[in-house]
């Protein structure tokens, strides 16, 4: 057999293996799955400039691991490929969360069970199966838990394009998705039929125009102004010039996704009930928001009980009470009481 025929045969075998891995991910319930080569970021200069401008706010841990983020092989030196997966946590056109007096809005991804657990449980199961079939190969799972530029690799793995709001957008599913993946030494390659998505933002600027804090410039978000950062990551008091703009968001913000035309309603809906809002009588039905007065009265035990199993447990008692106080003040101001 000539060398090129041998190479073609080897490529074919790698594609067969890659297809089998992708099919297994889909069978595990992931809405999207793909593979890409494990290679350094193509946007290193942009990432370095983002940190240099202080757009990460007080998230010093991001800056500390800044260089690691640029090359996933620094996380797993043996890695040759990345398996990237996505869950859809809300359907396109999802109408919640709505503004309601006395309730602080919560970003959709935190309405149900904690996505870190949901995604990593399946990634670990996949890793264990692959180790059993390919002893000696190396794997490392990630889901917001390793310095990996998840969106860039997701784009390379055919899961969508990165919009001007910096989120991954899939032409059929929209952007209400969460990412995870496995770094692996297995020689996986993108199968030839794996989709590649062009940028479909075009001349649209809806997310830039709608962002309450003006945090978005095309393809870049100033995290230090983003409500998600202000309510979830920042431990210090909210900067005075941004307090009113936070409105009634108490954990995260979905505005730049709500206005995106690629999240407009379609008939298909997310079907994983674990991402559905958790029913809780104390908070007037499904947990699309939190009762502000109740949160202000929470003890450490209340917080632990109410946020158990939720991504919202990232917010400390002090942070969630601060957010509730800000949301209440903004609702009163909007109602002309303050």
Active site residue 144: yes
Of 86, 221, 242, 250, the one binding ligand SF4 by CB under 6 A:
221
CB of 326 to ligand SF4, least distance (A): 14
Segment lying near ligand SF4 (by CB under 6 A), choices 63-71, 205-213, 267-275, 323-331 = 205-213
**CB 250 → ligand SF4: shortest distance, Å?**
13
Retrieve residue 308's tokens.
Answer: 């158990």
Interface with ligand SF4 includes 204 (CB under 6 A)? yes
For residue 227, report the phi and psi dihedrals to the nearest 5 degrees: -65, -30
- The one catalytic residue in 101, 121, 144, 302 is 144
Give the count of residues interacting with ligand SF4 (CB under 6 A).
Answer: 24
Nearest Cα to 110, choosing from 274, 304, 230? 274
Contact 186, 16 (CB under 8 A): no
211 binds ligand SF4 (CB under 6 A): yes
Output the smallest distance, CB 333 to ligand SF4, in A. Answer: 18
User: Smallest distance, Å, CB 222 to ligand SF4?
Assistant: 8
310-319 long-range contacts, CB within 8 A, separation 24+: 310/110, 310/112, 310/113, 310/114, 310/278, 311/109, 311/110, 311/114, 311/115, 311/116, 312/106, 312/110, 312/251, 313/114, 314/232, 315/231, 315/232, 315/251, 316/235, 318/235, 319/231, 319/232, 319/234, 319/235
Per CB under 6 A, 206 contacts ligand SF4: yes
Residue 171 DSSP one-character state:
T
Give the nearer residue to ligand SF4 in terms of CB position, either 185 or 247: 247
Q: Is 255 in the site for ligand SF4 (CB under 6 A)?
A: yes
- Touching ligand SF4, residues 159-188 (CB under 6 A): 163-165
Beta carbons within 8 Å of 155's beta carbon, 6+ residues apart: 161, 162, 168, 197
- Residue 215 binds ligand SF4 (CB under 6 A): yes
Q: What are the residues binding ligand SF4 (CB under 6 A)?
A: 163-165, 201, 204-207, 211-213, 215-216, 221, 226-228, 253, 255-256, 259-262
So which residues are the catalytic ones? 144
């Amino acid at each position: 057999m000539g060398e090129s025929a041998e190479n073609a045969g080897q490529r074919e075998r790698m594609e067969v293996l890659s297809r089998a891995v992708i099919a297994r991910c889909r069978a595990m319930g992931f809405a999207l799955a793909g593979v890409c080569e494990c290679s350094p970021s193509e946007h290193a200069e942009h990432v370095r400039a983002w940190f240099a401008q202080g757009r990460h706010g007080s998230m010093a841990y991001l800056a500390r691991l800044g260089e690691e983020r640029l090359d996933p092989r620094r996380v797993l030196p043996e890695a040759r490929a990345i398996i990237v997966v996505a869950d859809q946590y809300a359907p396109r056109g999802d109408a919640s969360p709505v503004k309601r007096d006395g309730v602080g809005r919560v970003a959709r991804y935190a309405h149900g069970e904690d996505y870190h657990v949901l995604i990593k449980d399946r990634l670990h199961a996949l890793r264990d199966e692959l180790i059993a079939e390919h002893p000696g190969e190396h794997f490392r799972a990630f889901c917001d838990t390793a310095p990996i530029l998840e969106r860039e690799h997701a784009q390379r793995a055919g899961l969508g394009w990165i919009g001007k709001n910096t989120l991954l957008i899939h032409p059929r599913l929209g952007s209400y998705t969460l990412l995870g993946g496995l770094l692996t030494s297995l020689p996986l390659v993108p199968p030839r039929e794996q989709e590649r998505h062009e940028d479909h933002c075009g001349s649209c600027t809806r997310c830039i125009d709608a962002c309450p804090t003006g945090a978005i410039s095309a393809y870049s978000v100033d995290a230090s102004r983003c409500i998600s950062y202000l309510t979830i990551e920042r431990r210090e008091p909210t900067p005075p010039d941004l307090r009113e703009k936070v409105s009634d968001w108490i954990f995260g913000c979905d505005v730049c996704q709500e206005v995106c035309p690629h999240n407009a309603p379609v008939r298909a809906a997310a079907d994983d009930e674990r991402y559905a809002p958790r029913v809780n009588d104390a908070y007037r039905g499904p947990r699309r928001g939190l009762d502000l007065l109740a949160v202000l009265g929470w003890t450490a035990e209340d917080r632990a009980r109410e946020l158990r199993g939720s991504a919202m447990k990232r917010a400390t008692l002090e942070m969630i009470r601060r957010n509730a106080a800000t949301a209440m003040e903004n609702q009163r101001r909007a109602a002309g009481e303050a």
